[in-house]
Homo-oligomer: A and B are copies of this chain.
Amino acid sequence: MQALMESVPNFSEGRREDVIVAIEQAANSVSGVRVLDRHSDTDHNRTVLTLVGPPNQLQESVYRAMERATELIDLRHHDGAHPRVGATDVVPFIPLAGTTMDDAINAARQLGQRVADKLKIPVYFYEEAAIRPDRQNLEQVRRKGFEELRDRIQTDEDRSPDLGPYAIHESAGAVIIGARGPLIAYNIYLNTNDLRIAKRIARAIRNSSGGLRYVKAMGIDIPDRGQVQVSMNLTNFHRTAVHTVFNLVRDEAQAYGVSISESEVVGLIPLAALADAGRYFLRLHEFKDDQILELKLLENLGAE
């Protein structure tokens, strides 16, 4: 088992199949890195790749894909519903088994340096990799996108890049690179069909209305089951744990005399999020990650 990291680069092309395939092939050309998913949206004119591999190989894979995107995408002739600043628009790195957030930040910074030096593209760091606190939020960095940034990058101190030239790349624009936790799509089913209860619980637990910092939530009706659901996105399970969310929903539901029948993960969940929950509920207070047999092996491999 090798140390793993994920990256989900977003490219500003969702229509020309030949361009999309060329970018994917470039990403796929590094041994040890897998393209787990490719999602293209024609309205947004945008493609998102999900890549997983050991940190160094992953960084190389993203770089090669960016090189192709820089050659093949010209933002001066690009339209789409999604805001964007670059041919490669956003590149988050996400730690998985055997890597830490610091490793992900390092990957972001190293890739940024290489892109600035070799591709001559200005680089902005966001979220956990942000250098300026006002750049933690992606939307705060992207703002109105390519055209606005082109006009203001040289004059507006507020828009100057963290690395690279003080002018955007003529055709490929700029790029926003960062590190963040993985998103988990997590839903909890309640033993009631009263949608008001699910909506009230969603309001109580989500960040936007005063709840947990890294939770987005809404209440929705699932008529096929005769139940309602608290439907959530958990944006940083390292800081707001899945079991914390579960317990809070359980307690809020109890106030209405309602119980949890089941929960579900839509798509994928990192190993550590599930193992953290096991550790918590079993009260393994002194447990260390390297007591997981498969991670112990990983550590030994790392020591070579």
Chain A residues proximal to chain B, CB less than 8 Å = 1-2, 4, 6, 34, 36, 52, 96-97, 182, 242-243, 246, 260-265, 267-271, 273-287, 291-297, 300-301
Contacts and interface: CB of A to CB of B under 8 A. Distances in A.
Contact of A267 (B52, B246, B270, B291): B291
Nearest to A52: B297
Given A36-B296, A292-B274, A282 B263 contact: yes
Nearest to A32: B301
B270 A292 contact: yes
A300 B53 CA distance: 12
Contact of A296 (B268, B282, B300): B268
Given A261-B283, A264-B284, 11 more contacts: A36-B296, A96-B293, A262-B283, A263-B282, A263-B283, A269-B292, A271-B271, A271-B293, A274-B278, A274-B292, A278-B281
A50 to B, nearest CB: 10
Contact of A4 (B1, B52, B265, B285): B1
B267 A277 contact: no
Count of identical protomers in the assembly:
2
A4 B274 CA distance: 19
A294 B97 contact: yes
> Shortest 3 CB-CB distances between A and B: which pairs?
A277-B278, A278-B278, A281-B281
A243 B281 contact: yes
Contacts of A297: 4, 34, 36, 52
A262 B284 CA distance: 6
A95 to B, nearest CB: 11
Given A278-B275, A282-B277, A293 B264 contact: no
B96 A282 contact: no
A131 to B, nearest CB: 28
A265 B295 CA distance: 15
A96 B242 CA distance: 25
Contact of A52 (B243, B268, B293): B293
